[in-house]
Structure 1
Amino acid sequence: MQAAMSTMDGIINTVSANIPMAPLFGLLKPNGKMVMVGLPEKPVEVPPFALVAKNKTLAGSFIGGMRDTQEMLDLAAKHGVTADIEVISAEYVNTAMERLAKADVRYRFVIDIGNTLDKAAAAAE
């Protein structure tokens, strides 16, 4: 993280756990903005100096509409921003939950409902 200090214009924080915020604010350039979309269980501790020292902003967004979501996806595509994910079937969800409990997860899980339903339909025939 040291190499990335003061290099980011913005951070979309999707973390739903209580994590130290000061290091994340350190990643932002002056006038940078962090938008919280994750919902930690406990109140987040924000060190005031981390915000005011270089005019940084902390904002939150519960959900965006279709237009906002499309705008975000278009911006990500334009700049080559992608997500590292692990695609799983619906049958794997219990195992995925066990892995989450063990902190044995490197990427976000994405449940492939379409292929799961296709397999179930094929098996029923």
Structure 2
Amino acid sequence: MSSHNESGIVSMANSGPDTNGSQFFITLADNLTYLDFKHSIFGKVISGMDTVRSISQGDKIERIKIYRVGEDANAFKVNSEEFLKLKQSYESKKVNETKKYVASQLEVIDQDYKDF
């Protein structure tokens, strides 16, 4: 199962690197091979396709409830201040990773090309 060639294929579409955005979808038609190599296949619906087909695009979600389970989930705060802290932490981490990578590459250049 490495192709979107039949209905019932479960895949994930990603918004791009470092976006943390993704959507999961189930194919409803055959021969959607143009999706191959663009989206990650996770599996296939083996029973209940009638239920999948009964869900239509544009359905209105009436209500959603998120349950926090576990210490980390209960401690997680959803507000602008916490978001900015997380963003700064992430950006700082990426800067440090980049600096380490550049330093390692300069080391390789110094070692491999010191005679040039």
Q: Under TM normalisation by the shorter chain, which class is it?
A: under 0.3
Structure number having the greater strand percentage: 1
TM-score, normalising length: structure 2:
0.25
